[in-house]
Structure 1
């Protein structure tokens, strides 16, 4: 089966779908959520620099054609912090 590639909305890096976080504007409600749902999607690298640029320059909002709630960014920052602590434990 052919691998699924996606592009980060922040750094424009191309990689496998599993390497990115998925943010979805659910159809038809327009609700923005993480990982699940059918609708317009945007992908972002799980890196500090990408998340900072996406939040500062509203890259997720422009890609999804809607406003992204601040709570979603807080969830992404929390997820990033958790993944960083898990990586430090593994090392």
Structure 2
């Protein structure tokens, strides 16, 4: 079976689906959330530079065709910080 490849919306890196975080605009409610749900999806690398560029240039919003709440960016930053501390241990 072929692996599922995805592209980061920020740095345009191509990789397997497991390398990225998934952000979903759920159908039909239009709510934007992390990881779960059926609907339009965007993928982003778990790196500070990609997250900052996506927020600054509204890449998630343009990719999902929806407004992305600030709380989503905060939860992504927290997830990034916790994964960095786990990698250092």
TM range, smaller chain: over 0.9
| Aligned partner of residue 24 in structure 1, secondary structure | strand
- For structure 1, the residue ranges without an aligned partner over 5 or more in a row are none
Name the TM-score, length of structure 1 as normaliser: 0.97
| Aligned partner of residue 55 in structure 1, secondary structure | helix
Question: What is residue 43 of structure 1 aligned with on the other side?
Answer: 43
Distance in 2, Cα, partners of 1:61 & 1:87 = 30
Task: Give runs of ≥4 in structure 1 deviating > 2 Å.
Answer: none
Q: CA deviation at 1:71?
A: 0.3
- For structure 2, the residue ranges without an aligned partner over 5 or more in a row are none
- Count residues with an aligned counterpart: 89
| Aligned partner of residue 87 in structure 1, secondary structure | helix
Question: What is residue 28 of structure 1 aligned with on the other side?
Answer: 28
